[in-house]
Amino acid sequence: MAVRAIAKMGNPVLRQKARELTREEILSEPIRALVRDMVETLHAVGGIGLAAPQVEESLRLAIIEIAAGNDRYPSMKEQELLVLFNPKVTVLDAATQEFWEGCLSVPELRGLVARPRKIRVDYLDSEGKPHAIEAEGFLATVFQHELDHLDGTLYVDKLVSTKQLMFLDEFRKFAAGSPPVAD
Ligand code: NI
């Protein structure tokens, strides 16, 4: 197991469309090791989501975990560790909601992004079995942020306005309110 380095904006891997994995790959030891590394990396940085391109693996794989009592997200509902392979998003309610977002690949910034408020995600789990999960509110934004990484999209591409992009220390002084999303 190893904590991986996080690719930052400017690294081309973050702008590539990641490829799907076969069921055989999902079950393979190298991919299992990658998932373990991603979980360890997520825990090391205290994030709530991580996509494989962020550790320089251009694969359609992301993990999401909101631990109970995460002190950076005290009001967030717990979400047990989800490992999502080849996820597909379907919008269930296109009405948008705004949250402040952050990203491990875009450090020290927060930006306001509007996204559909309710979605369904179809994906394969670590055993290659299909699942569907519905998410709304903050969790819907977390999913969409993470899964955008698989298409080479960063939250800064989707800002409500560039006037709503802030350095974190200034954000804390002047704009704290709705919860930011960090991954
Ligand atoms: Ni991100």
Q: Give pLDDT, residue 98.
A: 94
Per-residue pLDDT of the chain (183 residues; tens, 9 = 90+): 799 999 999 999 999 999 999 999 999 999 999 999 999 999 999 899 999 999 999 999 999 998 776 666 656 778 899 999 999 999 999 999 999 999 999 999 999 999 999 999 999 999 999 999 999 999 999 999 999 999 999 999 999 999 999 999 999 888 876 666 766
Q: Give pLDDT, residue 75.
A: 63
Residue 155 CA to ligand 1 center (angstroms) comes to 7
Residue 144 CA to ligand 1 center (angstroms) comes to 10
98: which 2 tokens? 């705004």
Q: What is the pLDDT of residues 54-70, one digit of tens each?
A: 999 999 999 999 877 66
Q: Give pLDDT, residue 68.
A: 73
Q: Give pLDDT, residue 84.
A: 98
Q: Give pLDDT, residue 110.
A: 94
Between CA 16 and CA 38 the distance in angstroms is 19
Give the pTM: 0.93
Q: Give pLDDT, residue 73.
A: 62
Residue 58 CA to ligand 1 center (angstroms) comes to 14
Which active-site residues does the annotation give? 146
42: which 2 tokens? 């997520």
DSSP string, 74-127: TTSPPEEEEEEEEEEEEEEEEEEEEEEEEETTEEEEEEEEEEEEEEEEEEE-TT
pLDDT more than 70, % of the chain: 92
